[in-house]
Structure 1
């Protein structure tokens, strides 16, 4: 494999892992496969990413930052309620609407629900879920540091919001007589209001 001049082994590992994940989101990103694709030794990979989970979490964080850069959560000129709702909308936008949402949920159903998931599929799904949870917890921490959110368990709050997002993304794939934008906005505001006004 031809090595890129001036690119660190850590960067080569991340690029290889992201490419593999892009080709197959259910991929487990095995240490050997990623190291081979990156043109580094498994020891080098383990030096930068001691566990497979550390590698998967870093890859997913990078992918999320690439597709949804510049979280609006830091824009204090906008009320906390709207900032959090906008950040949640960013996540929903990745799910698409209509045919795109149906295709995505069809793939999820086939890979993780229809039959017992393999260890590799389970690990891939859990990594995606952890990244979603991490991102929402980060947004809540920012709001808490500003005093816009009462003290409480941000992990539980994030789990609640991620569950709401999952439901809304399924709704995007299903037929509806109402405007998805209207019902989605109402649901997001109800969920955000609950989180901002509750101690849980």
Structure 2
């Protein structure tokens, strides 16, 4: 009887089964349509159960995007205040880049990305998927900056804009990983990240117009 109880406790909940099924579908095809029937069938649950947890497709897509992004960007790293702030931010950005891989893995990642969003005509589902993942990624970067600013380690500023800046840096380095490279170029990747981070820590906050010194 105890064995059965342990097995039941180890089984994913209905909500988790839905998210795992949806995440798997997105991984297999980034432009897939997460329809209620398709996801419910993949998860082995009723459409009513899916609607109970996720009333809309947008709610489901946002949760899937946040979950996958969270696997790449571990929040524990940025919250470890025993480590210097700039080193934590560097580690977080390196985590994101590592998900791209290098060489053939990186090329495969970007082939699928470009094939979904650039080579073919975009449909509403592909657009929704891209926007959900983009927003989730930016929220994670903004969270890193919010944590550091709250600690007083990062000068006050517009973390939404700063997150967008760091995201562009990550995108550029991620694409570069898919191109022919060498050890020296991979080492310079860390230097680029360190420079981008230094810009945030040492840039003065603009004074709003109308304010006097």
Q: What band does the TM-score fall into relative to the shorter chain?
A: 0.7 to 0.9
Runs of 5+ unmatched residues, structure 2: 1-6, 207-213
The reply to whether residue 100 of structure 1 matches residue 96 of structure 2 is no
The structure that has the greater radius of gyration is: 2
| Greater shift in the superposed pair: 127-136 or 27-36 | 27-36
Equivalent position of 1:91 in the other structure: 96
Query: Root-mean-square deviation (CA), in Å?
Result: 2.2
Question: What's the offset of the Cα at 1:70?
Answer: 5.5
How far apart in 2 are the matches of 1:174 and 1:89? 18
Equivalent position of 2:77 in the other structure: 72
TM-score normalized with structure 2 length: 0.82
Residue correspondences, number: 197
1:148 aligns with one of 143, 148, 153: 153
Equivalent position of 1:110 in the other structure: 115
Equivalent position of 2:40 in the other structure: 35
Equivalent position of 1:192 in the other structure: 197
Question: What's the offset of the Cα at 1:195?
Answer: 2.0
The reply to whether residue 22 of structure 1 matches residue 27 of structure 2 is yes
Equivalent position of 1:180 in the other structure: 185
Equivalent position of 1:130 in the other structure: 135
Runs of 5+ unmatched residues, structure 1: none
> CA contact under 8 A between 1:71 and 1:87: conserved in structure 2?
no
> CA contact under 8 A between 1:95 and 1:169: conserved in structure 2?
yes
Distance 1:194 1:51, change over 3 A: farther
How far apart in 2 are the matches of 1:186 and 1:147? 24
